[in-house]
């Protein structure tokens, strides 16, 4: 028992000192070898340096190797490059507002006058304010730009940073004026339509026994001629509407008529393949033009040359010498009936519209096609040339399209006439008339394409409603009378309403998005 008690007390006594940790490297006694002691000291781990000190030493070492001079650390500024950069920014932000408004310009002028009266210039005022001029490189470069601009006004000009929209395009201008860096597209202004008086029916003339298919007006504006399905050509007095003469000779419907402005001749074409020249002094046929293989549907005279152009079902437009009756050209290229042909003085001197839904512009000197317009989707039945502008229009059942000569550039669509358009006519007041197969009549402002009047012709009493189609039309030489040939076998003459004013018939023009 005493021995057990003594053993427990030795274990549980807290006063006993804790055991001391032993060192990794035991201390060497004086009796050990000195070489062993040195080896033991070398195996001891050195104290580690902080990571920041190591990074700093590495950066310093890199600088010592690659950068000998610590003071040259920033990239040097290139003044020419900086000047170009600032010039670009200045012109980009301030070029459009370089001209002051009139009110501000007047205020600046007044202030300058007061400063001049006080005997102080801008630099003197700046010096008085305590400014010693530009203090930074940017200010110096901006002043250099302003000085360069003032020198350009007196010296040779450079269009390197001129807006393209502000460069004047004058005839004979140097090529440098066309090489501007920035091209600013000028906003297209929407044109306002001109006011036109509405048209009303003036006279109805009966006399034909068939559909009236062609009409032409005398160059002296004294009479007009019509051709119809009854194979007769009738000449009417324009002022009174009375019949003056009837010419017979065709054995089928007369589809084309044209009166010569330089000769007393009347030319006619019909579905009987015949093209005739009538001498109105003797009222008889003096020439025949043979060559068409099928019916002739259209006819036109050249305004300055003694040439006659006809087109028909054989898909060709033929050019004839009026005097010798010789065929000069057979303009082939259309794949269907040539429905209308027009002539003008300048190229393209011949324009044809065909049932193959194309319009062709012809080079009369070479007898070849200059351009083929394929924008239409349906048969092109009518073509009309503007008397005021170097342009023309073509009509189809899908749209009436306006084109610019000489290349046939598309201008605009005149949409809205939902019918088979058989005829077009334009007068000197820029009034475009389009007549439809269902009797619909549309009057347009030619320049803007604004439809200012829509009407429907009324058939003659005793005729069917389906016979009110309009097949041909023509303005007289003054442009104040419109003559239409219709399917009810009548000829109608229309005129402007004298009592109409812009107040009674205002313009209701709403431009369509994307048209202008």
Where is pLDDT greater, at 449 or 94? Answer: 449
Predicted confidence at residue 454, as pLDDT, reads 96
pTM: 0.65
Q: 397: closest CA among 425, 416, 411?
A: 416
pLDDT beyond 90 at 308:
yes
Question: Between these two residues, 231 and 463, which has the higher pLDDT value?
Answer: 231
Span 143-169, average pLDDT = 51
Helix H or strand E segment including 204: strand 199-206
pLDDT grade for 93, boundaries at 50, 70 and 90: confident
User: Can you give 329-388 as a three-state secondary structure string?
Assistant: EEEECCCCCEEEEEECCCCCCEEEEECCCCEEEEECCCCEEEEEECCCCCCEEEEEECCC
Q: How far apart are CA 420 and CA 73, in angstroms?
A: 81
Tens of pLDDT, residue by residue over 227-266, are: 999 999 999 999 999 999 999 999 999 999 999 999 999 9
Going by C-beta distance under 8 Å and a sequence separation of 6 or more, which residues neighbour residue 214? 226, 227, 254, 255, 256, 257, 268, 472, 485
- pLDDT at res. 466: 80
Residue 160 banded pLDDT, cuts 50, 70, 90: very low
pLDDT of 146: 57
CB atoms within 10 A of CB 328: 15
Task: Look at residues 245, 243, 290 and name the one whose alpha carbon lies nearest to residue 269.
Answer: 290
Report the pLDDT value the prediction gives residue 9, as an integer from 0 to 100. Answer: 41
Taking the CB of residue 347, how many other CB atoms lie within 10 A of it? 15
Angstrom distances, CA of residue 353 to CA of 213, 292, 439: 17, 17, 22
Question: How does pLDDT run across 108-117, given as a tens digit for each residue?
Answer: 777 777 767 6
* Of the candidate ranges 28-37, 268-277, 452-461, the one whose mean pLDDT is the lowest: 28-37
Write the DSSP assignment of 214-245 as a string of letters.
EEEE-TTSSEEEEEETTSEEEEEETTT--EEE
Distance separating alpha carbons of residues 250 and 274, to the nearest angstrom: 8
The fraction of the chain above a pLDDT of 70, given in percent, is 72
| Strands lying side by side in the sheet with 199-206 | 199-206, 490-496, 481-486, 470-475
At 88 the pLDDT is: 81
Check pLDDT > 90 for residue 386.
yes
Question: Cβ distance 433 to 421 under 8 Å?
Answer: no
Check if the beta carbon of residue 173 is closer than 8 Å to that of residue 159. no
| HSE, side-chain direction, 13 A CA sphere, residue 282 | 7
pLDDT band at 97 (very low <50, low <70, confident <90, very high): low
- Burial of 299 by CB count in 10 Å (0-12 exposed, 13-18 middle, 19+ buried)? buried
Which residues have CB under 8 Å from 233's CB, separation 6+? 225, 226, 227, 246, 247, 248, 250, 254, 257, 266, 268, 278
Q: Is 21 helix (H, G, I), strand (E, B) or coil?
A: coil
- pLDDT bucket at 178, cuts 50 / 70 / 90: very low
């Amino acid at each position: 028992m005493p021995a057990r008690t003594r053993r427990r007390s030795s274990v549980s006594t807290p006063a006993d000192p804790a055991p001391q940790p032993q060192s990794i490297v035991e201390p060497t006694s004086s009796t050990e070898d000195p070489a062993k002691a040195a080896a033991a000291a070398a195996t001891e781990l050195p104290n580690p340096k902080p990571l920041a000190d190591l990074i700093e030493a590495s950066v310093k070492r890199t600088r010592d190797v690659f950068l000998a001079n610590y003071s040259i650390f920033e990239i040097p500024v290139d003044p020419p490059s900086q000047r170009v950069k600032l010039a670009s920014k200045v012109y980009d932000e301030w070029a459009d507002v370089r001209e002051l408004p009139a009110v501000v310009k007047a205020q600046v002028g007044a202030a300058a006058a007061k400063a001049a009266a006080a005997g102080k210039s801008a630099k003197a005022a700046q010096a008085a304010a305590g400014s010693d001029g530009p203090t930074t490189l940017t200010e110096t470069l901006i002043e250099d730009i302003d000085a360069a601009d003032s020198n350009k006004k007196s010296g040779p000009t450079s269009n390197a940073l001129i807006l393209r929209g502000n460069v004047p395009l004058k005839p004979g201008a140097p090529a440098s004026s066309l090489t501007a860096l920035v091209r600013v597209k000028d906003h297209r202004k929407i044109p306002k339509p001109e006011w036109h008086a509405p048209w009303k029916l003036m006279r109805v003339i009966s006399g034909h026994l068939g559909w009236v298919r062609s009409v032409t007006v005398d160059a002296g504006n004294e009479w007009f001629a019509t051709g119809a399905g009854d194979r007769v050509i009738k000449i009417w007095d324009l002022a009174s509407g009375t019949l003056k003469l009837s010419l017979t000779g065709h054995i089928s419907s007369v589809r084309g008529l044209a009166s010569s402005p330089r000769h007393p001749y009347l030319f006619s074409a019909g579905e009987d393949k015949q093209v005739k020249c009538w001498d109105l002094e003797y009222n008889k046929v003096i020439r025949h033009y043979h060559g068409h293989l099928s019916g002739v549907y259209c006819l036109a005279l050249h305004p300055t040359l003694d040439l006659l152009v006809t087109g028909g079902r054989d898909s060709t437009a033929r050019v004839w010498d009026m005097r010798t009756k010789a065929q000069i050209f057979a303009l082939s290229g259309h794949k269907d009936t040539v429905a209308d042909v027009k002539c003008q003085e300048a190229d393209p001197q011949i324009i044809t519209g065909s049932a193959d839904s194309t319009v062709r512009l012809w080079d009369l000197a070479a007898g070849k096609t200059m351009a083929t317009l394929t924008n239409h989707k349906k048969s092109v039945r009518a073509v009309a040339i503007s008397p005021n502008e170097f342009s023309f229009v073509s009509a189809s059942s899908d749209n009436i399209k306006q084109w610019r000569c000489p290349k046939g550039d598309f201008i605009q669509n005149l949409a809205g006439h939902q019918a088979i358009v058989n005829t077009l006519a334009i007068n000197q007041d820029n009034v475009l008339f389009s007549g439809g197969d269902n009797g619909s009549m549309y009057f347009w402002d030619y320049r803007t394409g604004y439809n200012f009047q829509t009407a429907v012709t009324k058939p003659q009493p005793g005729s069917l409603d389906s016979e009110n189609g309009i097949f041909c039309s023509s303005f007289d030489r003054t442009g104040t009378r419109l003559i239409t040939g219709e399917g009810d076998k009548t000829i109608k003459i229309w005129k402007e309403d004298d009592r109409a004013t812009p107040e009674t018939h205002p313009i209701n023009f709403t431009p369509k998005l994307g048209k202008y």
